[in-house]
Structures are given as C-alpha cells and as structure tokens.
Amino acid sequence: MNSSSILFALDALTGALFLLTAIGVVATRQVLASLQLFILQSVLLTLSAVLLGFAQGSIHLFAVAAITIATKTLLIPWLLRHTVSAEVYRTREIERVLNIPSSLLIAAVLIVLAYVVANPLLGAVSVPFAQINLPLGIAAMFLGTFTIVVRREAVPQLLGLLAVENGVFFAGVAIVPSLPVIAELAAAVDVPVLALVIGMLTRRIHVRLGTTSVGQLASLRDC
Amino acid sequence: MELFGILVIPLLASGFSLLPLGRRFAAPATLLATAIVLGLALAVALEASRTGHVAASGQWLTCDGLGALVLLLVAFVGFTAALFSWGYVAESVKRGRQKSIHQYYALYNLFVLSMLCVPLLANVALMWIAVELTTLLSAFLVGFEDTPEALEAAWKYVILTTLGAVLALLGFLILYWGSRVAGMEPFTWIGLVGAAPHTPPALIWIAFLFILVGFGTKVGLVPMHTWLPDAHSQAPASICALLSGVETTTVLYVILRLFPVVSAAPGLDARPWFIAFGLISVTVATLLLIYVRDFKRMFAFSTVEHMGIILVAAGLGGADAHLGAAYQMTGHAIAKSFCFFAAGATVLSVRTQEIASVRGLVRSSPVAAIALLAGAFAIAGAPPFGLFVSEFVILKAGLASGQYAVVGLLAFLVVIAFCAVMLHVNRMAFGTPEREMHTWALPRTCKLTLAFAAIPLIIIGIYVPAPLFELLKAAASAMGG
C-alpha cells in the first residue's frame, strides 16, 4: 500500500465519521450534546483538510485547517458560552417537529439525494479525493438544513447552520485545493461574526421572551 | 478614485457615530456621508453610461453599466433613508424602550457599505462575503424596535438568509472549480464568462441551481420567501426602505450576473428557470396581497411580486426585455422606498400597522395619506409612474418574441395585484372611521424625505434623462441582452 492510497483510506474514514456527526446533530435532543457533536465535526473537517494538504502538497489546505481549528473548535464555543446563558445549554427538547426514527429515515433519503447531486459533477471532472468529500459534504449540507427545519431551540438551529457551512468546506477542500486566500479569510471572519450575531440575538430573545424555543414563535403569520 | 471614496466614507461615518464626541451628531454625520456617497455614485454612473466601464484598480474594484445602476440605486435609497431615519428613529426611541441611537447609525452606515460593495467588488468570492455581511449587519437593525415580533423577524431573517448564502457558497466554489478546470481565469464575472465555454456544463448547471436557490432565498423568491414579509414589516420604516427597495435588488443583481455565464456554456439555458421561479413568485405574492392585513406586509409582498417580474423579464430574453428589467429595478427601488417612507409616516401618525384600523386617513393625516396613495399608485404600476412604463416594455418585448402564455399570465397577475393594493390603500385613505382617530404630528424630516423622494418617483415615469437611458442600456447589455 503506497502513501497516497493510505491517505485516501484515511480520508474515507474521516468522511464516514464526518457524516455520522451530521446525522448526530439531527438526532440529539440535548443542546450541549449538539454543540459537542459540532466541535467533533469541525475536528474531522480539519483532519480531512490536513490529509488532503499532504496528498496534494497544498499549503492553502493547511491554512484552512488552522483557521477551522481556531474558529470552530475554540472561538465559536467560547463566543456561545459568553453570549448564551448556561440555562439554555441545560435545555432538553421535549417536543420536536418530527420524532427521531422518522428524522433518521428522511436523513437517509437526503444522503442518497446528495449522491444524486454530486454524481454529474464527479462524472464531468475526475478528482480522486472529490469522490469522497464532495458527496459527503453535500450530504452534511442537506442534513444541516434539515436540522434547522426540525429543531425548535435556537442554539441547535445555529449549529445546524454551522454544520451546513462545515459541509461546504468539506466539499470545498477537495474541489478547490487552492482556495483563494480571501475565501479562507472569509471563513475566518464570517463564521465567528455569524455566531456572535446569532448568539446575541438568542440572548435578547431569551431576555425578552423567556424562551429560546424559536420554532414556537409564531406571532407573525398570514391570514 | 470615486470607487474608493464610496467605500471609505461610510466606514468613517460609522466610526464617527461610535466615538463619544460623535454620538450626538450621528444623524447629521450619516446624512452628510450618504449625501457625498450619492454624489460620487452619480459621477460613477455618468461615467459608466458614457464609457460603459469604470475601474479603480482593475483587479479589485470595477463597475460596469449594471453595477453602476445598482450602485446608484443603493446610494440614492441610502441617502433618503438616512434623512427619514433622523426624525423617525428619534420618535420611535422616545415612545419605546431606551435604545442607543448611535448604535443604529453605526450599523446603518456599515449596512449601506456592505450593499455598496456588492456591485463594486470584482472578485466573486469577496462579493459573496459582501452579500453575507448585508444580512449580518442588518440583523440588529431589523430587531431594533426590540419587540417580541421584531426579534422573531430578525431571527428568521438571519437563519434563513444565511442558510441561503451558505448554499450559494457551494455554488460559487463549484464555479471556481470549473474555471480552474477550464484553465486559470481570474475569479471575476468577466473571467467566469470567459471560462464558461471550456467548463464542463454539469458544473455550471449545478452551481447555477445552488446559487439560484441560495440567493433566491435572500431575494424572497417563492417558496423561500417566508422570512421576507416578517423582516420587512417589523424593521423600522427607514430600514424597510433599504431592505425592500435595494437589498433584494442587490442580491437579484448577483443572480442576473449568472445569466451570461450560463448562456455562454454550451447546451445550457437559464431562461426557463428564471421564468418559472419568477411566475411562481408573482402568483403567490399576488394571492397574498389580496388577503393581507398589515400595510407594511402589503408592501413586502409587493416586493416579492416585483422581484418575480424582474426575473421573468430576464428570462424572456432579448435586449428589450432586459432593458425593461433594468428599468423595473430602477422603478422598484425608487417607488418601494417611497412606499415604506409613506408607511412609516402613517405608522408615526396613527401608531398602528393594521389596515383595518386605519380609515379616513386623508382627513386625519393628509400628508401621510397622499404619500401612501402616490406610493401605492406608483408601486402597483399605474401611469404615469415608472413601473407602468417598465412593465409595458417587458410585456411588449415578450409579445414580440412570441411568448404569449407567459406574457398573458404576467399581465393578468399584475392587474390583480394592482387592484388588491389599490383596494387596501383606498380604504385606508377614504374609508369612514368607526371612531375618532387620534393622530400624532409628523417630524419635519419625514415630510422632507417624502418631498425629496417624490421627485425621481414622478420624473422617471414621464421622462427618462439621456444619461439614465444610456445607463439602462449598458445594464441590459451586461445581462447579455
């Protein structure tokens, strides 16, 4: 087994775990557990960026890895802890829009759909690592979107959004290994600002309304 | 040089508003800054209409006809909304909880800056960041009133439009991938059009769909529009004018920019998708306009309708339809911002947003009533206003290219929407009130804003100045007319 096929196998393993964390964010009930799953997912994204960086000798991917570790595993959890009160983290969702078995069934359909979307792309251009990263990245995006739809608590919705973002970058590291530097900076600035804005908004909602169950807010509707 | 000025001045004004010394002068400073930006944008637009292209440093900042048009519209509404904010924000802070006015102006300047960046940044990745920042910077402006409804609206706004932007990001990464497969082209709009014929069509196609759905969320295309009426009705009226009048247009501009890229790729055609999304949006918005109960929501639904019309116009194809689309963008930005100023004036004088509880406004608050009527006529597309002309141009272009079914449906829906808007506003202005309505006086700056914003509203329907016409033509050709 030569070194590149070992890297390939390791990336496949990372990808599988990455997908599991995305499914986990859909299925967990505790707010704190979702946050921990998100951190784990970010670590796996970093790992994949490092593996691809070795395989393709791209310095850019190491920068992506460094930025991901700094922002998503350190800065964002810190920001959320300081903006959102501890009470929110202890929350356990009793009520969900969908129960867990049917959520998982839909998640399975979404993963298949991700392969359907990724297939024409992989057929058009052949990039070895994209075979793993592109469909799994898109799958994580779909699962994150689904999370936002079914979760009612504010923090899990934010984490769903960040999971979508992780999915984009998981696909991105394979399809554009020489991501322009500015895009890396974007990820470095944009994502923490997003977490900050949403964290502060969550705090305001908590203070003003006494709940962070944003899915139940329905004073604005038509007819 | 002007392009740098346009980007630096709002930044300075924002910083000034946060200084302890500048806090008290935040409103006049913002007004001055936006006035200078409007002047610079006019200069850029004039140059673009003459030469078709303005570049500061070709790599980073550049502006063609379409970009200059969007720039000018953002700068115009940025100025009028700043003028409106002066009295409106002071008034709403007085009656509500204490919220710092200087924070409002600091964010206001940054929000306008982020929108000004979108048409100016040459690099597509940077442009994506600018679009994303428009959401993040305006989130607290949407929630500024700090009511439970405003916070709910701000939450939906941030989550859904950011989700859309992140989906679009994958589209842009795929486009970048494609341009690298095609040979290294700079990651600019021109570079993308150049690379498109050599890029595998599957890449451009999937990227197009991701961006259409992703940024379509921010434009308010049905079925991704659910956040829009909430955010556009709960924000302070000055912010609504920016959100509805130009933020949507700015993002639609990005989608329109994709049109020449997709057309340049062999075997791809974006037009049916534009027409389908556009018609669905117009249909649903028209139905909602009939049943609407809140007059700020009414104008928000009308925004969904107009975004749909512009998309249909782009999808009809051909130089004339694209000219109509550019004209419609101009007319919408001017008329919709005016409508929200009128709605803001109405809210200030009767302190409610419910259509049913406002009756006989023309007697109790004539200025607000006349503004509301004028705005409604303009936005619904009655002659002699600009949107009548642009809708006429679009329908005529569609007939000329033989797309009768699309034109017929569009014309039918536009007429229904017209009747719905006029019915609501007519009742508000002339209906008999059930009980004596108490009204509050309007701040002077509100009246001034209405007077100033009415000038272009009236002019562009009757007479299009030659430089503006050249600019519209340049914008249409940038859409690949």
Q: Contact A182/B158, CB-based, under 8 Å?
A: no
Integer angstrom CA distances of residue B468 from A101, B6, B73 = 59, 20, 12
Q: What are phi and psi of B121, to 5 degrees?
A: -75, 125
Compute the count of residue pairs across chains A and B with CB atoms less than 8 Å apart.
129
* Most A CBs within 10 Å, among B155, B206, B209, to test the A interface: B155
- Per-residue confidence (pLDDT) for residue B58, from 0 to 100: 64
Q: Could you give the count of Cα atoms lying within 13 Å of B240 in the half-sphere of its Cβ?
A: 35
- Per-residue confidence (pLDDT) for residue A180, from 0 to 100: 66
What mean pLDDT is predicted for residues B355-369? 90
Cβ contacts of A120 on chain B, cutoff 8 Å: 202, 205-206
Contact B461, B389 (CB under 8 A): yes
DSSP for B219-283 reads: HT-TTS-THHHHHHHHS-HHHHHHIIIIIHHHHHHHHHHHHHHHHHSTT---HHHHHHHHHHHHH
A30, pLDDT greater than 90: no
Tell which residue, A152, A162, A156, A143, has the closest CA to residue A23: A143
- For residues B269 and B49, what is the distance between their CA atoms, to the nearest angstrom? 29
* Most B CBs within 10 Å, among A115, A151, A194, to test the B interface: A194
Q: Contact A161/B153, CB-based, under 8 Å?
A: no
Q: Contact B291/A125, CB-based, under 8 Å?
A: no
- Per-residue confidence (pLDDT) for residue B461, from 0 to 100: 87
What mean pLDDT is predicted for residues B264-286? 93
Distance from the Cα of B160 to chain A's closest Cα (Å) equals 9
Q: Contact A190/B132, CB-based, under 8 Å?
A: yes
pLDDT digits (tens, 9 = 90+) for B135-169: 999 999 999 888 889 999 999 999 999 999 999 99
A83, pLDDT greater than 70: yes
* Ranges of each domain in chain B: 2-478
What mean pLDDT is predicted for residues B77-99? 81
Cβ contacts of A176 on chain B, cutoff 8 Å: 173, 176-177, 180
Other beta carbons within 10 angstroms of residue B439's beta carbon come to 16
| Predicted ipTM > 0.90 | yes
B98, pLDDT greater than 50: no
More confident call, A212 vs B410: B410
Facing residue for B123 by CB, picked from A141, A182, A194: A182
- When pLDDT is cut at 50, 70 and 90, the band that residue B456 belongs to is very high
- Per-residue confidence (pLDDT) for residue B243, from 0 to 100: 96
Contact A101, A130 (CB under 8 A): no
Q: Contact A176/B291, CB-based, under 8 Å?
A: no
Facing residue for B154 by CB, picked from A161, A201, A209: A201
Q: Position of tokens 């779909």?
A: A142
Distance from the Cα of B383 to chain A's closest Cα (Å) equals 30
- Per-residue confidence (pLDDT) for residue A96, from 0 to 100: 67
Facing residue for A168 by CB, picked from B169, B229, B297: B169
What mean pLDDT is predicted for residues A117-123? 91
What mean pLDDT is predicted for residues B3-12? 93
What mean pLDDT is predicted for residues B292-303? 94
Contact B40, B2 (CB under 8 A): yes
Distance from the Cα of A147 to chain B's closest Cα (Å) equals 12
- Per-residue confidence (pLDDT) for residue A1, from 0 to 100: 53
Q: Contact B203/A161, CB-based, under 8 Å?
A: no
B115, pLDDT greater than 90: yes
More confident call, B416 vs B434: B416
Q: Contact B174/A175, CB-based, under 8 Å?
A: yes
- When pLDDT is cut at 50, 70 and 90, the band that residue A179 belongs to is low
Q: Contact A219/B149, CB-based, under 8 Å?
A: yes
Q: Contact A222/B132, CB-based, under 8 Å?
A: no
* Most A CBs within 10 Å, among B107, B140, B141, B151, to test the A interface: B151
Q: Contact A194/B136, CB-based, under 8 Å?
A: yes
Distance from the Cα of A165 to chain B's closest Cα (Å) equals 6
Contact B59, A182 (CB under 8 A): no
Contact B107, B235 (CB under 8 A): no
* Most A CBs within 10 Å, among B99, B159, B227, to test the A interface: B159
> What average pLDDT does chain A have?
86
Q: What is residue A71's DSSP assignment?
A: I
Cβ contacts of A154 on chain B, cutoff 8 Å: 155
Q: Contact A222/B159, CB-based, under 8 Å?
A: no
Q: Contact B177/A180, CB-based, under 8 Å?
A: no
Q: What is residue B63's DSSP assignment?
A: E
* Backbone region of residue A72 per phi and psi (left: phi > 0; alpha: psi in -120 to 50; beta: other values): alpha
Angle in degrees, CA B426, B430, B435, rounded to 5 = 125
What mean pLDDT is predicted for residues B298-309? 96
Facing residue for A145 by CB, picked from B163, B203, B233: B163
Distance from the Cα of A171 to chain B's closest Cα (Å) equals 8
- When pLDDT is cut at 50, 70 and 90, the band that residue A46 belongs to is very high
H helices of B358-481, in order, are 361-364, 366-380, 386-400, 404-430, 444-462, 466-478
A188, pLDDT greater than 60: yes
Cβ contacts of A168 on chain B, cutoff 8 Å: 166, 169-170, 173
- For residues B169 and B167, what is the distance between their CA atoms, to the nearest angstrom? 5
Q: Contact A120/B206, CB-based, under 8 Å?
A: yes
- Per-residue confidence (pLDDT) for residue B450, from 0 to 100: 95
- When pLDDT is cut at 50, 70 and 90, the band that residue B221 belongs to is very high
Residue of B nearest to A208 (CA): B148
Cβ contacts of A143 on chain B, cutoff 8 Å: none
pLDDT digits (tens, 9 = 90+) for A147-176: 998 888 888 889 999 999 999 999 988 888
Residue B7 host element (H or E): helix B2-18
Q: Contact B148/A208, CB-based, under 8 Å?
A: yes
Integer angstrom CA distances of residue B28 from B76, B83, B103, B455 = 16, 9, 14, 22
- Per-residue confidence (pLDDT) for residue A182, from 0 to 100: 63
- For residues B18 and B338, what is the distance between their CA atoms, to the nearest angstrom? 29
Cβ contacts of A180 on chain B, cutoff 8 Å: 123, 125, 176, 187
In one-letter notation, the amino acid at residue B311 is L
Residues in chain B: 481
The pTM of this model reads 0.94
Cβ contacts of B154 on chain A, cutoff 8 Å: 201
Distance from the Cα of B390 to chain A's closest Cα (Å) equals 30
* Backbone region of residue A155 per phi and psi (left: phi > 0; alpha: psi in -120 to 50; beta: other values): alpha
- When pLDDT is cut at 50, 70 and 90, the band that residue A223 belongs to is very low
Q: Contact B170/A138, CB-based, under 8 Å?
A: yes
